[in-house]
A and B are shown apart, each in its own frame.
Chain A
């Protein structure tokens, strides 16, 4: 669906030269849920911006099969405060010049998918943080894109709500079969959501992990032995505080 070849991105020249991304090769298959984990400033958002076409890469190419369409979900909901929920959701369709009746229907459909059709008439200031982010997801879904790019969409929410939002997203993904590229700092979030996790460090994809935890995932999945095993592997692949020991592999129980 998306194929990235030898992608590189740098800003500035001479002393101010900064290499943000380097030698990135990446592919995203249809219906796949892939998560990128990396520290702040590791180039995650720049990578998404390049995929979205907002920024041109310095090197390499991005190929999209069959002109796959994409929508972006931001870290913050970025709702327009003067528009009610429904008018926010159908904004992408309005920009594309879709007729009123059609955009109204598509907007309501998208709201139904995130379970917020009852809130169509509310204004953003009347919504909780979780509701606002679900509206942002509905806005991204209104265009019926092939791929959803999600840049730390739940990072501003409290841990419990964040967990609930993860399961909402999983259920939505299972129903819609969208291809999702998700960015997060949280290993737990990445593990519960993804088919594959890629680690971005120093502008390079340093390691990739297949998440073979059984689907559909539930709260029980956190207790899955594979969950803790993958958690350790991913945590050890990420930079550590210099004085802290790495996580030891789980000891096998005596038979």
Chain B
């Protein structure tokens, strides 16, 4: 009999086959998204054609498109985009990393959880825009304050979601791991972490668009660079096409970021979480 190979059944094989399936689904999804985008663009043209609004109030798609080209060719857009992306990625990584550590620690200590969770819920319900000026006052006008604002806006919902994730393991599975004589780190690696992944990814997906909001809120309050700054500048100059360009770029960044997290979720968690939800 042929000797079985690890790559046929092991984790790499599972992830490879899953990635193939996910990418095939993604191609279908992209087709659908293009169709919707095309329809929106058509609706935009129809509004311009039907109501002929002032270009400074509601610019036609062509104006926005050519303004995007101008901003790109003149090299104005890139540094702002880079700055905002840096803030988003750094703030998101810090927020998610911290939420994982805090969420796991809290989930292991019932007393701590009872004491801290109400504060997390309160902190989550206070708009961060109210805190942002304070953070800028304490941390200065540089990139650090904006990263902290982004990290904080991501942190609270992701932490609550992570705590719920770590509570998802069943007593039956815990007993099974004890029977196997698994050590604490093995229980974490083979049971606790995988069963918490749906919760962790849910927090990461909630956090992805919030990170974009956090970065722009920080940029609104501090002068300098970033797409938020570009919005303020366009607003001051009544440059509506630039305003549209910035909003579209930010929207695209948010959608792409969220989609990448969702893609990673599908590859790492696979079909079982979806099946369990049904």
Task: Let me know if A244 is at the binding interface, CB within 8 A.
Answer: no
Bound form: Cα–Cα A115–B186 in Å: 29
Q: Check A74 for interface membership: any CB of B closer than 8 A.
A: yes
**Interface positions of B from 1 to 56, Cβ below 8 Å from A:** 3-6, 8-11, 14
Q: Which residue of chain A has its CB nearest to the CB of B275? A: A125
A125 adjacent to B276 (CB under 8 Å): yes
For chain A residues 76-93, which have a beta carbon within 8 Å of chain B? 76, 78, 80-82, 84, 86-87, 91-92
Interface of B, secondary structure class, is helix
A125 adjacent to B11 (CB under 8 Å): no
* A78 and B176 form a contact (CB under 8 A): yes
In the complex formed, the residue of B with least CB distance to A92 is B180
Q: Is the CB of B6 within 8 A of A95?
A: no
Interfacial chain A residues near B3, Cβ < 8 Å: 105
The reply to whether A100 and B10 contact each other, CB–CB distance below 8 Å, is yes
A78 vs B176: C-alpha distance in the bound complex, in angstroms?
7
- Interface size on A, as a range, is 20 to 34
Decide if B269 touches A82 in the complex (CB within 8 Å): yes
Q: Are B272 and A125 in contact (CB under 8 A)?
A: yes
In the complex, which residues of chain B have a beta carbon less than 8 angstroms from the beta carbon of A81?
272, 275-276
B194 x A80 contact (CB < 8 A): yes
Query: If the complex has contacts A52-B179, A80-B173, A95-B181, are A87 and B194 also in contact, measured as CB distance less than 8 A?
Result: no
Bound form: Cα–Cα A81–B173 in Å: 10
Report the separation of the CA atoms of residues A72 and B172 in the bound assembly, to the nearest whole angstrom.
Answer: 12
Task: Bits for B172-191, please: 1 = Cβ < 8 Å to A, else 0.
Answer: 11011111111000100011
Choose from B172, B186, B191 the contact partner of A74 (Cβ within 8 Å).
B172
Contacts of B276 in A (CB 8 A): 81, 125
Binary contact track B132-154/A, C-beta < 8 Å → 1, others 0: 00000000000000000000000
Give the residues from 45 to 62 in chain A that come closer than 8 angstroms, CB to CB, to chain B. 52, 54
CA distance A108 to B186 in the complex (A): 22
> Which B residues contact A (CB, under 8 angstroms)?
3-6, 8-11, 14, 172-173, 175-182, 186, 190-191, 194-195, 197, 269-273, 275-276
